[in-house]
Structure 1
């Protein structure tokens, strides 16, 4: 898993739906990990949620669970910006 945020989008013009969902796992100050979630309508500042975990593996497990859920709901992963 890279330290770069994972960006998902879901757009459906017929339903006026233009959403984003970003996930990122980072180290916290207490030797654990934090899963940061940022979501909302594209073009707005959206909302944030930070979940703390005892290890990076736990945070990545939760990230994978959320990712599967979002992909089932129609979100698509945006291409990575590395190498550009």
Structure 2
């Protein structure tokens, strides 16, 4: 990933046999002071879930944070037993299908 996701990146992990339906989203935006804000939302599909917002002075720091978040999502198979997949329309540059 070479650029911040100013359009939201949304991923889902589903395993109907285990009744596992999770959703995860990351979105970058600028605040009124020019800082970059990274908002991450996650939780069960259809539920309010949780939100974490972090602010960064520069794009480099923010991009490193987003890359780390995406690496963690790529390891979901090891942690929860099912991979996260991008929702239709999300570019593979943000979350490659080959792990």
TM-score (norm 1): 0.85
The question of whether the paired residues in 2 share the 8 Å contact of 1:25 and 1:56 is answered with: no
Structure with greater strand percent: 1
Q: CA RMSD in A?
A: 1.7
Give the SS at the match of 2:32. Answer: coil
TM-score (norm 2): 0.74
Tell me the residue number matched to 1:14.
17
How far apart are 1:48 and its partner, in Å? 0.8
Q: Which runs of 5+ in 2 are unaligned?
A: 77-82, 91-99
Give the SS at the match of 1:69. Answer: helix
Tell me the residue number matched to 1:55.
58
Aligned length: 82
How far apart are 1:18 and its partner, in Å? 0.2
Give the SS at the match of 2:33. Answer: coil
- 2:10 and 2:16 map into 1 onto residues whose CA distance is 19
Q: Which runs of 4+ in 1 moved over 6 A?
A: none
Q: Which runs of 5+ in 1 are unaligned?
A: none
How far apart are 1:57 and its partner, in Å? 2.3
Give the SS at the match of 1:80. Answer: coil
